[in-house]
Amino acid sequence: MKITAAITAVHGYVPDYVLSNQVLETMVDTNSEWIESRTGIKERRILKSKGLGTSDMAVEAIKGILDKKKISAEEIDMIIVGTVTPDHIFPSTSNIICDKLGAKNAWGYDISAACSGFLFALVTGTQFIETGKFKKIIVVGADKMSSIIDYTDRATCIIFGDGAGAVLLEPNYEGLGIVDSILKVDGSGKKYLFQQGGGSVQPPTMRSVAAKEHFVYQEGQSVFKFAVKGMADVSAEIMERNKLKGEDVAWLVPHQANKRIIDATANRMGVGTDKVMLNIHRYGNTTSGTIPLCLWDYEKQMHQGDNIILSAFGGGFTWGAIYVKWAYNCS
Ligand SMILES: CC(C)(COP(=O)(O)OP(=O)(O)OC[C@H]1O[C@@H](n2cnc3c(N)ncnc32)[C@H](O)[C@@H]1OP(=O)(O)O)[C@@H](O)C(=O)NCCC(=O)NCCS
């Protein structure tokens, strides 16, 4: 009997502190209306407390899943974390999360795919379920973007926020869960959106820190053009090869980078705006966190058997789409 990997629970976490467009007006040369009309963002959350990192947000999201499903941390086989803001270069954030949760029987690792991190991690977790090797895998998308954002750079600081979302993957024998996926990378896109300093090519030095090379660098207009085409192409492709029409799709769950990119993707797919999950106005772009945070926000509105398309585009470049048959109804 074919085993599929089904999402059987979802939960999220966003920090309490709200950074509104109005407050950003006092920090950089921008204005609230411009941000909202050009991106769709009204506010974003920031993890303010000192000494807290990506793992702390992920742990809160995973605890929500354990509570909902009434399972213990020891039952988890694996934790896979999509993030570009790991707590440390090593050990992996997955290691740290396992320790903080007391997930003594789990192993795992981090996946670096920028805003497509959750999709890449979800497809990876799916393989381990489909082989029959593991029964309970947590897939997390979590980023503390405020740790790599320059709050004097209006090209980036208006967009990003902090947050984490997690899902539980379990085997399914009725064809529910992850049905198909298309993932892509193009490293020649690095120059448009990347973090230059801090790695092995340019380890941190006094000079690199002074030059702000450890912050996100983005050429917004170029990224916008690639993102519109990349997300729309891959979403249309996955629909076509699964013979799905716009009306067959119950929900589009797009990466939340810019409302205009989301609208273009939905339009190309022939999916109505009422079927598009949105939280960009409240959280901004939480990088790996956006898609699982949307699933969390809309959990009660999804039904067993719904055709759901997850779609993302990220720095470097990375992009992809996943076709999911939703596996459960909320009680
Ligand atoms: C960053 C982004 C919002 C900028 O929007 P844009 O419409 O491309 O803005 P532009 O750079 O073309 O600038 C348009 C005008 O707004 C101004 N502007 C740029 N940033 C501004 C800001 N933060 N506040 C106010 N005005 C701003 C520019 O100076 C320019 O003014 P001008 O027309 O008088 O010269 C947009 O390019 C974007 O969303 N890019 C993709 C980002 C993304 O998806 N990243 C993550 C992928 S994972």
| Calpha distance 242→122 (Å, rounded) | 19
Query: Closest Cα to residue 165, out of 145, 140, 144?
Result: 140
Q: What is the atom index within ligand 1 of the atom nearest the CA of 223?
A: 41
The residue whose CB lies within 8 Å of the most ligand 1 atoms, and thus the one to mutate among 112, 224, 319, is 224
Over the stretch 118-128, which tens digit does the pLDDT of each residue have?
999 999 999 99
Which residues are known catalytic residues? 115, 255, 285
Give the count of beta carbons closer than 10 Å to the beta carbon of residue 49. Answer: 9
Q: Show Cβ contacts of residue 154 under 8 Å, excluding neighbours closer than 6 positions.
A: 28, 29, 30
Helix 54-69 and helix 93-101: axis angle, to 10°?
50
Cα angle 226, 229, 233; round to 5: 135
Task: Find out whether 252 and 311 touch, Cβ atoms under 8 Å.
Answer: yes
Residue 331 has pLDDT above 90, yes or no: no
Task: Find out whether 118 and 164 touch, Cβ atoms under 8 Å.
Answer: no
Over the stretch 5-16, which tens digit does the pLDDT of each residue have?
999 999 999 999
Q: What is the atom index within ligand 1 of the atom nearest the CA of 154?
A: 23
Over the stretch 270-300, which tens digit does the pLDDT of each residue have?
999 999 999 999 999 999 999 999 999 999 9
Task: Find out whether 145 and 287 touch, Cβ atoms under 8 Å.
Answer: yes
Mean pLDDT of the chain: 97
Over the stretch 184-229, which tens digit does the pLDDT of each residue have?
999 999 999 999 999 999 999 999 999 999 999 999 999 999 999 9
For the segment 121-138, the average pLDDT, to the nearest whole number, is 98
Q: Whose CA is nearest to atom 25 of ligand 1?
A: 30
For the segment 233-251, the average pLDDT, to the nearest whole number, is 97
Give percent of the chain with pLDDT exceeding 70.
100
For the segment 138-159, the average pLDDT, to the nearest whole number, is 98
Helices marked H in 88-174 — which ranges?
Answer: 93-101, 117-130, 154-157
Confidence (pLDDT) at 1: 80
Give the count of beta carbons closer than 10 Å to the beta carbon of residue 59. Answer: 23
Classify 217 as helix, strand or coil.
Answer: strand
Q: Which residues of 307-320 are buried (b: 16+ CB within 10 A; e: fewer)?
A: bbbbbbbbbbbbbb
Confidence (pLDDT) at 190: 95
Q: How many angstroms separate the alpha carbon of residue 221 from the centre of ligand 1?
A: 7
| Calpha distance 76→258 (Å, rounded) | 35
What residues does ligand 1 touch, defined as CB less than 6 Å away?
30-31, 34, 38-39, 114-115, 154-155, 158, 220-221, 223-224, 227, 257-258, 261, 285, 313-315
Measured between its terminal Cα atoms, the distance across the chain in Å is 28
For the segment 239-254, the average pLDDT, to the nearest whole number, is 97
| Calpha distance 79→166 (Å, rounded) | 10
For the segment 32-39, the average pLDDT, to the nearest whole number, is 97
